[in-house]
Structure 1
């Protein structure tokens, strides 16, 4: 997969950089302000998870076209501890950081497509797509 742009997530400032990249690319694609906010919120959540739980990783953003539809693909990946129970982290209100627990279920709701793959001890990859209406 050829990514347009990636931001390495190592510090809290990288979360801001990833959000900014997402906002810029979504604006370029023609997303409205509401969808831009959804996309940047999703990126923020994914980047924060990498920072908090894996220590480092990356968020990649790519413009995509499938079956005549344009959209934005976000791939958040890390080589952290992985997620032992994906079903549990996908429950509303579940949090290990003491945050609001919007987390991954929130990202899934904000985006049109969402998939998560995780191997304990190897890391996690989350793909999320927002289609242009």
Structure 2
């Protein structure tokens, strides 16, 4: 039976909750410690972006199957200002918050699949997946 858990992001504490939720599900699904850390780090980056840029949003973590493959899917959704130029924000080193600029490109590298859809004035949805070896 498919598992799904959602964390509402409204504060720094919610980022920690989302990260822990993702790590716990990855562990339950049989991911090793390194992949658990990768998944938790990606969720932390994505949840932080929701908090910083949209103020509020949701992080949903669920188990997925594709044929004989099993994995984890993370869906991050907000109704924030949207991203005017996705190509730009996906470049290493680009940052609007004077941070390290590792957020979205870093999260993408940590996962196996990464899809981002954003519309200005409507919000952003990111779906990423990690498959178990």
Normalising by the smaller structure, the TM-score range is over 0.9
For residues 45 and 53 of structure 1, the distance between their equivalents in structure 2, rounded to whole angstroms, comes to: 12
For residues 67 and 105 of structure 2, the distance between their equivalents in structure 1, rounded to whole angstroms, comes to: 27
Counterpart in 2 of 1:91?
91
For residues 23 and 109 of structure 2, the distance between their equivalents in structure 1, rounded to whole angstroms, comes to: 18
Counterpart in 2 of 1:125?
125
Question: Which structure 2 residues correspond to residues 1-40 of structure 1 after superposition, within 5 A?
Answer: 4-40=4-40
Instruction: Give the deviation of 1:3 after TM superposition.
Output: 6.7
Counterpart in 1 of 2:48?
48
Give SS of 1:5's match. strand
Number of residues of Structure 1 aligned to a counterpart in Structure 2: 132
Structure 1's consecutive aligned runs of 4 or more residues displaced over 6 angstroms after TM superposition are none
The two structures have a TM-score, normalised by structure 2, of 0.97
CA change 1:61–1:81 in 2 (3 A) is same
Q: Deviation string for 1:28-82 (max 9, x for gaps)?
A: 0010110000000000000000000000001000000012100000000000000
Cα root mean square deviation, aligned: 1.0
> Does structure 2 conserve the Cα–Cα contact (< 8 Å) formed by 1:3 and 1:60?
no
Unaligned runs of 5+ in 1: none
The two structures have a TM-score, normalised by structure 1, of 0.97
Unaligned runs of 5+ in 2: none
Give SS of 1:46's match. helix
Instruction: Give the deviation of 1:98 after TM superposition.
Output: 1.3
